[in-house]
Structure 1
């Protein structure tokens, strides 16, 4: 595994194009072994991958790519950076799968790798301004809550844009905690496992992040008849999840401006989306998930 090199030509991918872009492949295009893998537990897929079964890792990526992409995109706020971070994380997971000891769920292990890759990039880019994603509909709404004054789509879009700017201004550690807990809806304990820190640290980061956000976004929830409300300090209920990057995202040359390579399963990470993805369902403006 340590000597594995990702293919540089997307045509070498053993995964159908529709799987790379997040669409459902026709039954005739899905190998029997791949279809059978869909009923296999994550831990067994890890074991099979370590034993040399290439399709096992492909299935693992297929299962979790949407949530992983959502976390990367929201944590970094930049599509190119998020795509590269997810690429790096999946390659790292591919190569280090033999170190997985089963002390946490496979999805937690994968999230931890993705979050670490994102934080590394965020720290390196701390002095470089990024353009925040302005159409994080469900993620922004989870933080903004219901506001009758923002029913108009144009108004709501502007609120999301302002929230994205505010979120991008947070320190990476606070932002990642808020992304997992307040936007992705993970319990604090699960987020702590993903971040590799105590639950108290997650609570502290969330509290500090909300406190820093408050002066920047409190005006977003005011109405003509009511005083300005603070962003809720309670953890919002889990929000419905969207899928990851769009189908019309570049299935392009696999060498992007940052030299992005193919994923371990042979597909490329589409790094373009107008929506911040969050998981299982496609919502307006969303797109296909990276394979």
Structure 2
């Protein structure tokens, strides 16, 4: 179902609360409408954490399945987006842990189709540097930079303290700064 189909199904009287209630009751269309708004950002988070398109696709699928299975348990303590991004980042981290050492090198470059050579080089360098950042720091950094979550939202999404969020982001930035010093 594409975005236009999803939006054509939305009755103007459907509020987010109504959709959530219907999704909790097992309505797959309501769930699809709820998550459609967050799909692109969820995809970007999975891609940045895993570092390749194949694993990101699998992580996104895993995240959506996990969210569907758990939507009945969503209490609303956090925003739906925060809850989804936590599931997505956890699914992406799980993919990294499962990844075998024999992964194909071809899966590495999600930006290879860009026409501008300089953008490709810079994007590759950033992605390579990001892949060298420890998983916990990378996930927190990605939620901040690509997920555009606040520090408190990240803390809630990852189940960690606010100071830990600050520390992880600071360490990730420091590592990236060193690895990308020649791009300045």
TM-score by length of 1: 0.56
Distance verdict in 2 for CA 1:174–1:127, change over 3 Å: farther
Quote the residue 1:35 is aligned against: 10
Distance in 1 between the 2:150 and 2:60 partners? 22
Residue 98 (structure 1) aligned with residue 98 (structure 2): no
Which of 145, 155, 180 is the aligned partner of 1:182?
145
The root-mean-square deviation of aligned C-alpha atoms, in Å, is 2.5
Residues 143-198 of structure 1: CA deviation (Å, up to 9, x unaligned): xxxxxxxxxx5334322211111111111111111111133332211122222211
Distance verdict in 2 for CA 1:164–1:106, change over 3 Å: same
Distance in 1 between the 2:172 and 2:6 partners? 45
Conserved? CA contact 2:45–2:146, under 8 Å: no
Residue 111 (structure 1) aligned with residue 62 (structure 2): no
Quote the residue 1:85 is aligned against: 59
Report the count of equivalent residues: 180
Residue 62 (structure 1) aligned with residue 27 (structure 2): no
**Larger Rg belongs to:** 1
Distance verdict in 2 for CA 1:58–1:168, change over 3 Å: same
Q: Tell me the SS of whatever aligns to 1:133.
A: coil
* More helix, by proportion: 2
Question: Unaligned regions of 5+ residues in structure 1, if any?
Answer: 1-14, 138-152, 222-291
Shift of residue 128, structure 1, vs aligned partner: 5.3
Quote the residue 1:268 is aligned against: none
Conserved? CA contact 2:6–2:32, under 8 Å: no
Structure having greater relative contact order (Cα 8 Å, sep ≥ 6): 1
Distance verdict in 2 for CA 1:26–1:109, change over 3 Å: closer
